[in-house]
Amino acid sequence: MEKIYIYSISDSVGETSESVIKAALCQFNYTNYEIKKYSFVSTLEELKIILEESKTHKSIFFYTLVETELVNYIKEFSRNYEIKNVDLLSEALNSIAGVLNMEPKREPGILRRLNMSYFDRIEAVEFAVKYDDGKDPRGFMLADIILLGISRTSKTPLSLYLANKNYKVANFPVVPNVPIPKELIKASPEKIFGLTISLDKVHAIRRERLKTLGFTSQSSYSDKESILEEIEYANEVIRKIGCPVIDVSNKAIEETGDVILSYINKDKED
């Protein structure tokens, strides 16, 4: 049983090529083979070295390459030395290009970058859940963004909105007589955002919240004087920290999030 050498050549990680090879091999009762995987092949010089080696044994090429020069070279090499080659990407690119009537980017590694962005987003969402409502003060030192505000200033949904933009967000509910964690005090004011809200707005929100929970009697949670005390205390804390202040009284989550991102992007530009 002659040994065959199966080349998996990619300009990125090469997972697609390797998966196809293994899926195809499962259909044969043949074990005398070796998969030679080459990832991040980006130059003609690299490709030439790989292909030259293949001439010494029975080979087959599977490849996912987007640069036309590399694709053309491997096809020409295969013809010259009568080596089977399987182009896993070009037909798909050409078919989609024909339907869309536009040229593909032919940019190596795009899928991997998209995948990495997806996993970064998942990690950010998990971070927001873990460090919601000041559950673990250590999160303030790790966060990209910290949100401060009294109850019902939309800290949690805003944290998740920003997490879906790949930012790690921690938030802290500012309550009178509850000490501010030392980790929060040590954090850079540039990544802290104070959320304020009008007395009437938060009063209405809290009254509705109590109704949905089945409470009809008045409580300090929805009492205007208690709420005013909370607002004044939160404003004082925010003033001492010296961070940007955003009034969320009449803003949707997306609007507030975009204001915060504009601050962050402006700081990056500066």
Binding-site residues from annotation: 149-156
Handedness of CA 163, 161, 230, 251 (dihedral sign): positive
Token pair for 119: 């996993």
Spatial strand order of the sheet with 245-247 comes to: 169-173, 145-149, 192-196, 245-247
Summarize the annotated binding site for ADP as residue ranges.
Answer: 149-156
Pairwise CA distance, residues 75 & 71, whole Å: 6
3-state secondary structure of 145: strand
3-state secondary structure of 43: coil
Pairwise CA distance, residues 101 & 241, whole Å: 54
Pairwise CA distance, residues 41 & 8, whole Å: 11
